[in-house]
Amino acid sequence: MAGRAAAPEFLSNLYTLCDGLLATQNLKAGKDYGALVCPSINPDIHPTHSRAAEAVFPFAVAFKRGHDAKYADAAVKLGNWLITIQNSAGAWGEVWPNHDGWDGTTADQLISMAGAYAILKDRLTTDENTAWTNSIKRAADWIEANFPKGNLNYLPTGAVALKFAANVIANPPAKWMAKADALMVQTMQSVNAQDFITGEGMGIDMGYNIAQSIGYIALYGILTGKTEPVAFAARVLKVHGKFMYPNGAIDNSWGTRSYKWMLESGTKTAPGIPFTFGLLADKDPAFSRGSKLSLDLLSKQYIGDQKLLVYGPAAAQHATSNPPCLYPTFARAQSLATAVEYGPEAVAPGTIPSEAKNWWEYFSSAKTGLVRTDKVMATLSAYDGIGQYDRCEVVRGGSITNLWFEGYGKLGFLQSSSPSIYIREEAPHMPKEGALLPLTERIEKLGPPWVANVFDEKATLAMAPEGTGYKATSTGNLRDSGGVSSGIGFTWIHRFTPEGYSGEATVTSAQNVRIVLPFVDLPGNAYALSGDSLFRITTAEGGIWELRITGATGPYVLASGEDKAKYWAPFPGLQCHPLAIKFGGTGAQTVKYAVSQAHATRLIPLAGSRARARRDESTCRWQNREGMPPSGVSADAGGQGPRSIN
């Protein structure tokens, strides 16, 4: 197989990540000799992750391509260590050293061990050869006996793991490939009428679908020579690929497992999208382009000074996420190595869907839509996928969940989102944090109980063209985190034009209700209120974005920056600056606003100081989980009185 040796960006990034991982290898004599020691101190202090041994395969491929023995030596040491912590059943527990926790990731470790063994076997001693092959056999037997299990991504991963094992073990049991084929059949049956793969968290998760499942479906076809899996993967990647933004980021803002969403690849612990696009780069010019964009984003924005991946653009500013965990680094190294070793030669790149302008699409099975105009791309979602995970982690109630505005900083994200309540759903992978507030825009009433549109899984979302732009209408009720309605209904209309976007929010009862619009906080940004109806963001580069109130049926107050320190989310690694539009009436009320980039000719002196608010710093708790917002708020909006525009 020709491989991707002709794609230098894959190899250069692979070497970089491998060098970062090499620097963490434990070379002190003892039981953990050869293991990789995580630099992170949150949630655990310098843990030795069993899954970090997935770096065995990236090290082996780096050696094969670059002929530098340091990579081979590191791979052998790491693989030898991994064998010592395999349990008696043949599996690896993700929580080490107690052999407990989730063990489905044995499939990931088997892929790495078997893939590396094919490259390294001639460098192993006789005893090492025996130990490696025995370990591979035991892991494959365990997977054959215990799969399917877990979320959907483990089905194609398990199938690929069994094929890798069968490729390197003499006279492999026929049952291995029989199970592999069955897992792949089940995977390809898990697709809905709109070509979304379903079953991840009992729903649709863009992150795992595009960063793991689709890639392993394609790889299975490549390894077995079967055309059907490759064709299937290419077909479903077309719809999933629509959620790649112009900067190469993947939007998993609305997925069932968005609680560990990383913009550059979809999720923290999956291999990542480079290998998905790379393995299919000969099937569509858009996939070839997607491959290039994903690598550009990875190398320019996500590989930090230690040659390790950070969680997101603002992660380095937060001690809770800096230094980062090794997981995304070894997972992406695995992705790059797979593309290098098994990918085809790419066709000439074309364009991805988001690079075309002036279109919209609504996906009814996900209650989620995309809009692209000249300057803006946005995702809106009312997804109700709360089958397995808590509503506070997945429901968006018709809000904008991601928004790119051309020219806003290096990545362009002006708005984004995060779980409504930060819950450490997967404790080993999610840092401990204090009380956080959601980055998702929302209509809310502070409590107790706290009620908001983002908790309403029954909300509706409708989309249609309107004039030279597009209109999205969301309706529903403000609910609490348990799903109980407050009786306050809302209608939220978003309009997208060639130059910007606007909102029109109506509530049936305005008392103590507010609209919260968190804007992505870039280094060097300045924020100011001008008069009683204008909010301005000035970037370090001199760009100006404005939100202007354009209409209101009752009084309102703007408040800038309240509880700003709490507007941080480790995933997707963003910090935001909140703007609150506080209704001043008691009955039904409507507020309209517009967001646009200001031009130099529109600059006016700012009047007054930035609005500040005082609030009770106490936090309420829900089932002992982190992240509930303050139970009450008393605002002092910089001396500005209520304002009404009719």
Q: How far apart are CA 182 and CA 628, in angstroms?
A: 44
Q: What's the chain's average pLDDT?
A: 91
Q: How far apart are CA 15 and CA 337, in angstroms?
A: 10
CATH 3.90.1310.10 fits 8-354, yes or no: no
- Mind giving me the DSSP string for 6-25? T-HHHHHHHHHHHHHHHTTB
pLDDT at 94: 86
Among left, alpha and beta (phi > 0; psi -120 to 50; other), residue 248 is left
Please determine, for residue 203, whether its predicted confidence score (pLDDT) is greater than 60. Answer: yes
Burial of 109 (0-12, 13-18, 19+ CB in 10 A): buried
pLDDT at 396: 87
Q: Average pLDDT in the 623-633 region?
A: 35
Burial of 499 (0-12, 13-18, 19+ CB in 10 A): middle
Q: How far apart are CA 177 and CA 172, in angstroms?
A: 9
Please determine, for residue 642, whether its predicted confidence score (pLDDT) is greater than 80. Answer: no
Weakest-pLDDT range from 374-378, 422-426, 451-455: 422-426
Q: How far apart are CA 78 and CA 580, in angstroms?
A: 51
The rounded percent of the chain whose pLDDT value lies above 70 is: 91
Please give the angle made by the CA atoms of 207, 306 and 414, to the nearest 5 degrees: 45
- Assess contact for 368 and 381: CB atoms under 8 A: yes
pLDDT digits (tens, 9 = 90+) for 338-382: 999 999 998 999 999 999 999 999 999 999 999 999 999 999 999
Q: Average pLDDT in the 56-69 region?
A: 97
Q: Phi first, then psi: give them for residue 76, nearest 5 degrees.
A: -65, -45
Please determine, for residue 633, whether its predicted confidence score (pLDDT) is greater than 50. Answer: no
pLDDT at 423: 94
pLDDT at 606: 37
- Mind giving me the DSSP string for 163-220? HHHHHHSSS--HHHHHHHHHHHHHHHT-B-TTS-B--TTSS--HHHIIIIIHHHHHHH
Domain covering 357-602: architecture = Distorted Sandwich (2.70)
pLDDT at 620: 27
Burial of 27 (0-12, 13-18, 19+ CB in 10 A): exposed
Domain boundaries, the chain: 8-354, 357-602
Please determine, for residue 635, whether its predicted confidence score (pLDDT) is greater than 50. Answer: no
The rounded percent of the chain whose pLDDT value lies above 90 is: 87
**Closest by alpha carbon to 157, among 139, 173, 180, 176?**
180
Q: pLDDT band at 395, cuts 50/70/90?
A: confident
Please determine, for residue 623, whether its predicted confidence score (pLDDT) is greater than 70. Answer: no
pLDDT digits (tens, 9 = 90+) for 139-178: 999 999 999 999 999 999 999 999 999 999 999 999 999 9
pLDDT digits (tens, 9 = 90+) for 260-290: 999 999 999 999 999 999 999 999 999 999 9
- Assess contact for 160 and 192: CB atoms under 8 A: no
Beta strands in 243-398 (DSSP E): 359-363, 368-372, 376-381
Q: How far apart are CA 146 and CA 107, in angstroms?
A: 11
Q: How far apart are CA 99 and CA 91, in angstroms?
A: 9
Q: pLDDT band at 393, cuts 50/70/90?
A: confident
pLDDT at 602: 40
Q: Average pLDDT in the 123-144 region?
A: 98
Tokens 């280094």 identify what position?
Answer: 523
pLDDT at 473: 98
Q: pLDDT band at 611, cuts 50/70/90?
A: very low
Bridge partner residues of 516 (DSSP): 442, 580
Q: pLDDT band at 99, cuts 50/70/90?
A: low
Give the H or E element holding residue 278. helix 273-279
